[in-house]
């Protein structure tokens, strides 16, 4: 099986990070989080004569996007940078238009997940965002921490989605989670600094 870009087999047969490719992946994440477009990153890599994963001189936007969306690259960067890149990808597609037809970013983070917009940080008042780490167990984290680290919101805890769902089942007396009931019954879910969760019902 072909190894993903950035990984090589050592002389002993172990899969490990390729140092040169690891530096390229770090560069891709750094430039993307600094605001560069996929096209600008492909141009930068070509200008620096860095070959693509197929060995060609030109990179494609699709390859860059695949690297930015692949959780396998968290060992090369940090989990925080990986999750920040996921929300940056989402925010760049979250575009609406003003009356003159000019594109503008929506001020609200949108997702189809049933908990979106319900979970609020007690410390800073920002919405919580869903994170899907490589472990496969979704977590929710304060949007300010995702975007700015702890410079704005210092103590907001990360909460397992499973913990939230168990509490919702208890509060709404459900044996099995019913997402429609959650959306129609829950006003807000406030996450406190001590990891306690306060669930407020709709009146």
Domain count of the chain? 2
Residue 29 lies in a domain: yes
Mean pLDDT of 174-191: 90
- Domain residues for the domain of 46 are 15-95
CB proximity list for 192: less than 8 A, separation 6 or greater: 122, 198
For 202, counting Cβ atoms within 10 Å of its Cβ (0-12 exposed, 13-18 middle, 19+ buried), the class is: exposed
Q: What is the model's pLDDT at position 134?
A: 67
Residue 105 lies in a domain: no
Residue 10 lies in a domain: no
pLDDT at 50 over 80: yes
∠ CA 125-128-130, rounded to 5°: 175
pTM, full prediction: 0.48
**Nearest one of 40, 68, 33, 35 to 48, comparing CA atoms:** 40
Mean pLDDT of 93-108: 44
């Amino acid at each position: 099986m072909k190894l993903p870009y950035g990984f090589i087999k050592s002389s002993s047969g172990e899969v490990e990070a390729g140092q040169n490719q690891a530096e390229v992946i770090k560069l891709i994440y750094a430039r993307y989080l600094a605001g560069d477009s996929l096209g600008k990153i492909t141009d930068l890599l070509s200008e620096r004569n860095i070959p693509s994963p197929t060995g060609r001189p030109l990179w494609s936007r699709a390859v860059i996007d695949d690297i930015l969306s692949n959780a396998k690259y968290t060992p090369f960067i940090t989990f925080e940078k990986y999750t920040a890149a996921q929300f940056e990808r989402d925010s760049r597609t979250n575009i609406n238009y003003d009356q003159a037809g000019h594109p503008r970013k929506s001020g609200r983070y949108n997702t189809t997940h049933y908990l979106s917009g319900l979970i609020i940080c007690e410390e800073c008042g920002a919405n919580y965002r869903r994170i899907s780490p490589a472990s496969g167990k979704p977590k929710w984290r304060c949007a300010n921490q995702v975007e700015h680290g702890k410079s704005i919101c210092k103590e907001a805890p990360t909460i397992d989605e499973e913990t939230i769902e168990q509490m919702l089942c208890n509060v709404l007396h459900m044996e099995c989670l019913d997402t429609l009931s959650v959306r129609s019954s829950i006003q807000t879910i406030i996450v406190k600094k001590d990891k306690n969760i306060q669930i407020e019902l709709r009146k």
